[in-house]
Amino acid sequence: MIDFDPNGPALHDGIFGLPFNEQNAELIILPVPWQVTVSYGEGTADAPAAIKEASKQVDLYHPLNPGAWRKGIYMPEPSRELYEKSSFWREKVADYLDNIATEKPEDSFFKAVDSACEELNKWVHDQATKFLKKEKKLILLGGDHSTPLGYIQALTEKHESFGVLQIDAHMDFRKAYEGFTYSHASISYNFMQLSGVSKVVQVGIRDYCDEELEFAKSLGNKAEIFFSYDIQKRKYRGESWDAICQSIVESLPEKIYISFDIDGLDPKLCPNTGTPVPGGLEFEEVQYLLEKIKNSGKNIIGADLNEVGVYATSDWNQNVGARVLYMLCNIIL
């Protein structure tokens, strides 16, 4: 790293202004600019590029893992082909959703959208497998929350069993929401169909339907839900965040994957996320939880960050997104 000053301005074009490349970086950020099935707000397909730009304002010292950046973090440029494919199908899905109460498309429409999403899943799976075979650590950066399914599938081929820690406002247990098998609202339902995923632990949940609650109950001890209001009640009764975090840590298996939907945070931190919900976690609360997990000795095998909504007149969403991403980097490295 000749001529790189970690205390100076970001002069390099890499993520966080770092000078690494695919060969010498220990951690790869895989950008997935995709938002075909979003059901409310748009802008998540623009997040990878916007977060990369915002990341240059993030100072490199991090209390969770000082100096970890020296191991190398690299993000390739987001695929223009994926972005254009997402835009093509998003336009068609948006037209359908605008008329969902009055018109029902032919089955061929849903099959075509599912086929496009399956191609995306395969691309993500193949990219993830390529990096995993090189013994790289990997964080997927979406995009909407449907994007990590192929990555999680790739991890099931490398690890016999692991759990998923999902930070989210939503359960995402809907089966083929709005007719789409690979909806952003169906990601957790879909990854729980994979044999290698032994458990899901959800934190921050505060917006869900009866069907999702029933599915969670049907999973038995394979699902543990820390609802947002239950967390708040524990606080109101005098329980510390440290104690609550300890109960979350104890619910996790030894190997875990972290799926981070940014709407798990208080929406003041992510006002343009696809489906914002009042309430949610504070930034420092998440950092403390991740620190507890790291210090517990759990093996964090991968992560994703999704649903950062980009808005033309403000860079606040990608600013926070870049800092959450850097937090995840320091947990994994």
Query: pLDDT tens for residues 216-272?
Result: 999 999 999 999 999 999 999 999 999 999 999 999 999 999 999 999 999 999 999
282: its two tokens: 């504070």
DSSP alpha helix (H) spans, the chain: 47-54, 80-98, 107-133, 149-158, 187-191, 210-218, 228-236, 241-251, 283-295, 316-332
Measured CA to CA, the distance from residue 124 to residue 151 in angstroms comes to 6
Question: Which helix (H) or strand (E) covers residue 202, if one does?
Answer: strand 197-205
Check if the beta carbon of residue 195 is closer than 8 Å to that of residue 152: no
Q: In the Cβ-directed half-sphere of 224, how many Cα atoms lie within 13 Å?
A: 14
Task: Give the annotated binding-site residues for Mn(2+).
Answer: 145, 168, 170, 172, 261, 263
Model confidence at 287, in pLDDT bands (50, 70, 90)? Answer: very high
Percent of the chain with pLDDT over 90: 89
SS3 83: helix
Measured CA to CA, the distance from residue 78 to residue 301 in angstroms comes to 23
Max Cα–Cα distance, the chain, nearest Å? 62
Question: Which helix (H) or strand (E) covers residue 224, if one does?
Answer: strand 223-227
pLDDT of residue 2: 59
pLDDT over 80 (residue 97): yes
Measured CA to CA, the distance from residue 326 to residue 333 in angstroms comes to 10
pLDDT of residue 192: 99
pLDDT over 70 (residue 111): yes
73-82, 83-92, 94-103, 314-323 — which is least confidently predicted?
94-103
pLDDT over 90 (residue 312): no
pLDDT of residue 214: 98
Q: Which residues contact 30 (CB under 8 A, 6 or more apart)?
A: 75, 76, 124, 127, 128, 131, 138, 139, 140, 141, 151
Mean predicted confidence (pLDDT) in 73-83: 97
Instruction: Return the amino acid letter for 15.
Output: I
Measured CA to CA, the distance from residue 20 to residue 83 in angstroms comes to 24
Q: What is this structure's pTM?
A: 0.96
Mean predicted confidence (pLDDT) in 67-80: 97
Pick the CATH number of 15-332 from 3.40.1790.10, 2.40.50.100, 3.40.800.10, 3.30.460.80: 3.40.800.10
242: its two tokens: 């440290």
Mean predicted confidence (pLDDT) in 122-144: 98
Q: Which residues contact 255 (CB under 8 A, 6 or more apart)?
A: 159, 161, 162, 163, 298, 299, 301
- State phi, psi for 141 to the nearest 5 degrees: -120, 110
Buried b (16+ CB within 10 A) or exposed e, 91-104: eebeebeeeeeeee
pLDDT of residue 147: 98
Q: What average pLDDT does the chain have?
A: 96
pLDDT over 80 (residue 1): no
Task: Give the annotated binding-site residues.
Answer: 145, 168, 170, 172, 261, 263
